[in-house]
Structure 1
Amino acid sequence: MENEDDESSVVDIYPLSCYYFGSKDALPDKDETLAERIQRFKSNFAAHGLRTCVEGVLLVELFQQPHVLLLQVKNSFFKLPGGRLRPGERDIDGLRRKLSRKLSLDDNGVHDDWQIGQCIGMWWKSEFETLPFPYLPPNTRRPKQCIKLFLVRLPMSRQFVVPKNLKMLAVPLCQIHDNAEVYGPIISGIPHLLSKFSFNIINV
């Protein structure tokens, strides 16, 4: 069911124990170094223009507190599940595809029913190597990347199947709040973006 225009201010959150976590084959690394990653971004920009990424905010309950599901890469940095849109791909379709590739047994998402809610935030990169801003700087004529965050409403139970080279963690909102040093500016800003919502923690 697609909830693209869902403006509900109440988010149902189910216990972490309701979900099953498994693993699947590792995703291939596209870049060995940061320099290779930047060069790939530049090549993609030259070919397709603005790089648009979509990421999902998935919430669960643990110890009566809301937690966000994060992916940890190589035991170092954290990221939200999601990724780059294909040229001409719609936000919702692209996020569903990326969630299935990162979190489902079925990489194509044919049998997945991700409930994508509203876009809760947008971030921009004016250059390839700059930090993202929650607004487009006024002197930026050709932004390089746009990152959109969507609230994903989880069902009461679900199986998550994560590539072996990624680790999925449930991190409390109070831990990531204003903690850009560990989680980066986008993830550490999630509690602010969620402040307009009420959490309905459901004990199963």
Structure 2
Amino acid sequence: MSTIATTVLQSSKPPITPLDFNANQPQTIRLYPLSNYTFGVKETQPEEDPSVLARLKRLEEHYTAHGMRRTCEGILVCHEHNHPHILMLQIANAFFKLPGDYLRPEDDEVEGFKSRLDERLAPVGRLGEGEEAGDWDVGDCLAQWWRPNFETFMYPFIPAHVTRPKECKKLYFIQLPKSKVLSVPKNMKLLAVPLFELYDNTARYGPQLSAIPHLLSRYNFEFVNENGEVVALTPGSGPSAGPRPQVKVLAGDDVDMKNENGTQ
């Protein structure tokens, strides 16, 4: 029987402590675990248009009557295994979109947007049971996409030759509370998609959704467990206002577990 010797290689150079990288820190967002949220289904919400051509025709009619169409969609973020996940809808097992929709011509932007979020995600029958209509924390506008003509293409800028865009779509960050009940129409699926799945994946999700990781890079994150404790945070983000992360022993001697977990 042969013996294998293990050699530990160490650098001859001492470790270098870098300078602080905490100046002008971005806003810190607290993310709650996916398990904090309850999901259900409600009545089917059929698509208003049977085809892409019909949708563009309706856009043209809207523009003729009311001018540029205003659309708002929400970026709802939670976490699973300390990695941000985006809640989005899937229609017909193929088409992905964020919750939200176009605003009615008479709608105030934010209040109209909250109503559209309710239509997509508010549970039926729970309004009046401690939950209020429009109970959404609408945060920063993270992006604007412009539709220059009556066609499917949208751009994150207004092309130089366009003076009258036909639609403006705003993507808003929605701060999810510690817990919430969400219901999705029966003909749709509500998915939690990790950022690494969206990143640089225009082939599957298109340019708008695949750009979300870029949009969220402006924030630092605190990842909170089911007990409300901060268990992870963006490296270099400085001191956390919540509890500091601790080592949690998953198996071993009871005494060691008590010591490591900070209990007596």
Paired residue type of 1:115: D
Map of 1:156 onto structure 2: 178
Map of 1:68 onto structure 2: 86
1:82 to 79, 100, 106: 100
Q: Distance in 2 between matches of 1:199 and 1:91?
A: 27
Q: How far did 1:110 drift? A: 4.5
Segment of structure 1 superposing worse, 83-92 or 154-163: 83-92
Maintained 8 Å contact 1:100/1:106 = no
Map of 1:5 onto structure 2: none
- Aligned to 1:55, the other structure's residue is in SS state strand
Paired residue type of 1:186: Q
Map of 1:26 onto structure 2: 44
- Aligned to 1:196, the other structure's residue is in SS state coil
Q: Distance in 1 between matches of 2:152 and 2:36?
A: 39
Q: How far did 1:90 drift? A: 2.2
Unaligned runs of 5+ in 1: 1-7
Q: Distance in 2 between matches of 1:58 and 1:163?
A: 17
Maintained 8 Å contact 1:15/1:60 = yes
**1:179 maps onto 2:201 in alignment:** yes
Q: Distance in 2 between matches of 1:48 and 1:189?
A: 30
Q: Distance in 2 between matches of 1:110 and 1:14?
A: 21
Map of 1:114 onto structure 2: 136
Q: Distance in 2 between matches of 1:71 and 1:18?
A: 19
Paired residue type of 1:10: T
2:166 to 131, 144, 157: 144
TM-score w.r.t. length of structure 2:
0.71
4+ residue runs over 3 A deviation: 106-112
**1:166 maps onto 2:188 in alignment:** yes
Q: How far did 1:42 drift? A: 1.1
Segment of structure 1 superposing worse, 8-17 or 20-29: 8-17
Deviations 1:127-165 (A, max 9, x none): 121421111111102101100011000011100011101
| Structure with max Cα Rg | 2
Percent identical across equivalent pairs? 41
Deviations 1:30-78 (A, max 9, x none): 1111111111111111111101100000001112210000100110110
Larger relative contact order (CA 8 Å, sep ≥ 6) = 1
TM-score w.r.t. length of structure 1:
0.92
**1:55 maps onto 2:77 in alignment:** no
Paired residue type of 1:85: L
Map of 2:53 onto structure 1: 35
Q: Which has the higher strand share?
A: 1
**1:124 maps onto 2:146 in alignment:** yes
